[in-house]
Amino acid sequence: MINIFLIIVLLICLITDIKNRMIYNKVIYPALLITFIYHFTKGGWEALNHSFIGFLIGFGLLLIPYFMGGMGAGDVKLLALIGAMKGSAFVFQSFLYIAIIGALMAIAVIIFRQGMLKSVVYYISSLKSGVVLKGGISRGSLTATYPYGVAIAGGAFLGLLLQGWSFL
């Protein structure tokens, strides 16, 4: 049941992050409230405590990158929600997948922004001919942003898939 709810929330956040570059509080906060109520009714105070610890771990994992300006507050709240829904072990495991997916996305952005791929090909071909061309990664491609909610949703989906995709 909680997995289906998680998938629905992730899909909504994925779409809004791609389309508007926002993860909305009007999705996160009600989902968080429903999650806490669900865990409390299913397992009492112990389950609520487990959910809250997952929330804190998910929140804490992205707090430093947020303070450094590397991502938005919606990304932090989404990972905290994932922790509240699935617990601390799941959110930490998903965080590892999120980091890998996010790194691959960042590399793709650097390569495909502003003709970087063409520059790399020219540079490599110039090395073969003995000519050294000045160039490198432009400052603009290093400051390019992308919707990190895509990586968060992808990491959580991968975590669910590797967990056995249990719908209960």
Torsion of CA 115, 98, 7, 53, to 10 degrees: -150
> What is the pLDDT confidence band of residue 106, given thresholds at 50, 70 and 90?
confident
Q: Which structure tokens are listed for 50?
A: 């487990």
For 24, 55, 110, the CA distances from 86, given in Å and listed in that order, are: 20, 9, 33
Rg (CA), the chain: 19
pLDDT in tens, 127-168: 677 666 565 555 555 556 788 999 999 999 999 999 886 554
Which tops the pLDDT comparison, 54 or 119?
54
Torsion of CA 128, 133, 134, 137, to 10 degrees: -50
Share of the chain above pLDDT 70, in %: 80
